[in-house]
Structure 1
């Protein structure tokens, strides 16, 4: 990675890999790029298949022209035109909307791989990703189950850190896709300390100053000093104290029934959620469609919608583009502030 990242265009170029062609990715992409405000914030570049994008424009009825490019610098980046780096890897005549297809899984991987290459080479400032489908990837024998695993490998960054953002509230996750019983076993003081340090670094790379981090409690009222459980006393609390000694401005454990509300109202810059649903529920109840995921710990910035390919409504001009619009806007917001690590 080059230490100096510069783009001559003041509006940073955001790569948008098109996602699974049989899903709603192409539709929400063109709907988003039919919004003039997007072009006031960034220069969006679709990495996908031009024939599919043209078909999505036809289905949705948005007023867009397609400009096919072979490199980011060839883009017009003008409202009314969608710039497409055409991978030409979808047989449009064989495309079956709403169905698992190997060609779509393979193409989706190739869109992401190309986008990562552009980011690693400093040709684009960030990735704003659309949905992909695990079954389609499997049908194509792509050796990854999702975005995170792809980006971890392609970006050479083990154990990326997920952060949700919605209406200014940021949420990190101490544990991810494991049972609640297993998640509790992972709530060690060493892990809490490590994650608070990683969360602080992630916020720093996003340009957040004077970072205040809260840790959500596990048990009712954060255990009430051991009356309702000892996890806060034995592991979570000591982990927070250890992080404080590292220089992290950390607080808690704060009862989970109030900490997210407090963060939403500006008391904390981020909350470390202890398990998957604890943070997901808080974010999605705040605003389901505007909950955006940021993958931290990569050598480039990546934002993502937090929904799937929605095969049941794909190619019917039903899918709302709010999440995709917010995904692109968030990438544009953080891109000028983001600190890119050298490799």
Structure 2
């Protein structure tokens, strides 16, 4: 077969296995393989009330029997995963989630997988397992370091059918985020965004840049980050042939970029936002169930659903796989 698309299990105590199984059952694509504990996936099948056999594969590229859920269980998973209480933080579940990510990334690096879709993990469970990374993005970045240990510059993009937003800063305190907004970092974000959108088939991406301050600083009246850092980065990007513009007032630029034809065609293909909440609130307001998290800048394709482990509904069979299905569609698009 062609190289499979791998879907990691996520935290076994959350809804990751359920949305992975639900997405596969809705799609049943021949390219999909689930990565994780086979018994956890069998439990998820039961939770969803599906009459679905589960096939344990020796390698991700093996062909499963017809109409069977294809599961590859990597070596090194901890014992006792099914004994961990659903909806609670577990070091065992954190360790298993990390191992699945490591194994799936190794498959991509070896050229045996086309793309990676990651089900939600829990940061506290990772920490309890002794995994030092705060989340998927940082772990994937470390796993993709070059031979000299140099980390690839990465950015988070959250996208749905109406809006794409790329973040200059991610999981840091707001006070620290302001200090991280430099001309170099904004320019790097623009270059990463431009390259990623071109790979997805947009020949000349139109990228809007949001300001940091109210009214984009109003000419320095409300802050000078736009004058000192953001505007110079936009000008330098334009000199490199990147179709960037701004900085624009952040309270209106997302509405201008929103693509909802025929009544409202978007003016831009993506918005570069300065901080986590500035960028993610407008995307999530349009519908968490349709959102996809894409890590840009990695030497591989990685997407994930736009939601967390949802411990409060884990095991109830009520988890909505829509965002996981959207992440799968996006991964296919980005991997060609």
Tell me the distance in 1 between the aligned counterparts of 2:11 and 2:228: 45
Runs of 4+ in 1 over 3 A off after TM superposition: 87-90
The counterpart of 1:235, out of the listed 224, 229, 244, is 229
Deviations 1:185-227 (CA, angstroms, capped at 9, x unpaired): 2222232222212221222333331111110122232233234
Seen in structure 2, the aligned counterparts of structure 1 residues 318 and 122 have a Cα distance that, compared at 3 Å, is same
Greater shift in the superposed pair: 310-319 or 86-95: 86-95
**Aligned residue in 2 for 1:64:** 52
Secondary structure of 1:304's partner?
Answer: strand
Correspondence for 1:145 among 134, 153, 156: 134
What displacement does 1:231 show? 2.4
- TM-superposition CA deviations, 1:280-310 (whole Å, max 9, x none): 1111011122111101111110001122212
Residue 251 of structure 1 is matched in structure 2 by 245
Which residues of structure 2 form unaligned runs of 5+? 146-150, 260-265
2:193 is aligned with 1:202 = no
The CA distance in 2 between the partners of 1:224 and 1:185, in whole Å, is 20
Shift of 1:168: 4.2
Change in Cα spacing, 1:223 to 1:312, as seen in structure 2 (3 Å) is: same
Q: Residue in 1 aligned with 2:32?
A: 44
> Unaligned 5+ residue runs, structure 1?
1-7, 337-343
Aligned residues: 323
Q: Alpha carbon RMSD of aligned pairs, Å? A: 1.9
Deviation, structure 1 residue 92: 5.0
Tell me the CA shift for residue 161 of structure 1. Answer: 1.4
TM-score by length of 1: 0.88
Counterpart position of 1:107 = 96
Q: Residues 313-339 of structure 1, C-alpha deviation per residue, up to 9 Å, x if partnerless?
A: 211112211111111121122211xxx
The SS at the match of 2:310 is coil
Give the superposition deviation at 1:229: 3.1
Which of 130, 135, 143 matches 2:119? 130
Shift in Å, 1:111: 0.7
What is the deviation of 1:26? 0.8
The TM-score normalised by the length of structure 2 is 0.90
Distance (Å, rounded) in 2 between the aligned partners of 1:162 and 1:216: 15
